[in-house]
Amino acid sequence: MADLGSPERETPSFGRTLRNRPFLYLWASQLVSQSGDFVFEVALLWLVLQTTGSVLAVGLVVVATLVPTVVLGPFLGVLVDRWHRRRVLLVTNVGEGILVAALSGLVIAHALNFVLLLVLVGVLAAGGQIVRIASGAMIPQSVPVADLGPANGLFSLSSSFNQVVGLSIGGVVVAIFGATLPIEYDAVSFFLAAVLVALIPRGVGAPERPAEKTESRFSTEFREGLAFVRQQRFILEAIALGIVANFFANALNALWAPYAALVLHGGSETYGFLGAAVALGAIVGAILAGQLNTRRAAGRYLFGSVAALGAAVLALGVTSSVAFALPASFALGVFLALGNVPLLAAIQAKVPARLMGRVMAVLMALILASAPFGAYYAGAVAEAVGVGTVIRLSGLVILAVTAVGALVMRELREVSY
């Protein structure tokens, strides 16, 4: 485990964080696996849109990626806290690689129907949730408190970098070669990520046992995680804000491909470039968040960033111009990172290591509880009133909820670490 006794006033440092070899391999494994995920996302959603011609079908695929986080997340968190997190990452990456390779074979053989696709996407989403929980729980085991900001910033940066490259290149690759090649690359990326995880020292990620021996039943451990969340008012307020914000944010996520095609009148390239603009903005936001000392103002960064995010969504809804939509997408990415990175660091600093998997899983599950409904709502309502109308409404609601939250959620607004 990382030394947690670093000086409180030590300035954030990307360089110092990357010199920590366990964290370096953990971060590199995510960098590699995510490079395939975003190319896969373009291929999958565009394939569904082109083969079904249905905005609702695209929304259902997005729902399938979200349901495991909500339904299985809290239970997976218990297992992540029980098991060795390094081994969890190793096995899960190999398993996901095998599953994506099988999916590629089904596409080539024209043996993939929509129901089977939803099932496979759901299983992959469950694997991705395990990886997110285990990786997030390993960060505070790999770096001191002073480096939690840069560490989370690097995770955000790598994800955003892969979005820039994966979504922009993915759109072009799908347009030229079709969906099979990106899916095959995604399978390879999982196997490479497993190799990098294997380089992490075996002691990193070991479960931390409580000082006093207690009953180790699954239900007891599950309730322990929930009890801790209930006792932390700032976490409860973050969940309340996140439930509303994610409903409408995932409505936008489900509409990216239809927005590119029906509002901006573009092709898969336009869809890829929009996603890349969001990711490029998130890179800038992650760099800023990792360099700024946000420890005493994490909550204020969150509220300010979510308000700016709502304004960016509203801007997307009022334009049909690619030239205007790209900078609005860039701003969306900047404020996503500026809000998320300080909040994650605050949670990781305040939660005991032995509870980290459960707390993070419960947090993600509850925040995203409304996300599948948001994705379904987007697809269903957009077919009736139009994609642009749904996006405008989403931006307005995010702004209104953030304004109310900033007034009444005092613990979240003032959270620091």
Q: What is the pLDDT of residues 134-145, one digit of tens each?
A: 998 899 989 888
Q: Average pLDDT, stretch 313-325?
A: 92
pLDDT at 165 over 80: no
Instruction: Quickly state the pLDDT bin for 2 (edges 50, 70, 90).
Output: very low
**For the CA atoms of 71, 74, 78, 83, what is the dihedral angle to 10 degrees?**
70
In contact, 20 and 143? CB cutoff 8 Å:
yes
Instruction: Quickly state the pLDDT bin for 211 (edges 50, 70, 90).
Output: low
Q: What is the pLDDT of residues 169-192, one digit of tens each?
A: 777 787 787 778 888 899 999 999
Q: Which of 219-223, 246-250, 264-268, 309-313 has the highest mean pLDDT?
A: 309-313
pLDDT at 146 over 90: no
In contact, 338 and 289? CB cutoff 8 Å:
yes
Q: Give all domains of the chain, ordered by start, each with its CATH number.
A: 21-205+217-413 (1.20.1250.20)
pLDDT at 167: 66
Q: Taking all residues of the chain, what is their mean pLDDT, rounded to a whole number?
A: 85
Instruction: Quickly state the pLDDT bin for 326 (edges 50, 70, 90).
Output: very high
CA–CA dist 232, 389 (Å, integer): 37
pLDDT at 195: 97
pLDDT at 1: 43
User: Cα dist. 310→2, 193, 396 in Å?
Assistant: 37, 35, 7
pLDDT at 26: 96
Instruction: Quickly state the pLDDT bin for 246 (edges 50, 70, 90).
Output: confident
pLDDT at 176: 80
User: Cα dist. 186→55, 97, 98, 103, 364 in Å?
Assistant: 24, 7, 10, 11, 24
pLDDT at 4 over 80: no
pLDDT at 270: 86
Q: Average pLDDT, stretch 147-163?
A: 85
pLDDT at 8 over 50: no
CA–CA dist 214, 143 (Å, integer): 28
In contact, 306 and 339? CB cutoff 8 Å:
yes
Q: What is the pLDDT of residues 45-104, one digit of tens each?
A: 877 877 787 877 887 887 888 778 778 878 888 888 888 999 999 999 999 999 999 988
pLDDT at 9 over 50: no
Q: What is the pLDDT of residues 276-302, one digit of tens each?
A: 788 788 889 988 888 888 888 899 999
CA–CA dist 300, 294 (Å, integer): 9
The pair of three-digit structure tokens given for residue 150, joined into one six-digit string: 């840069």
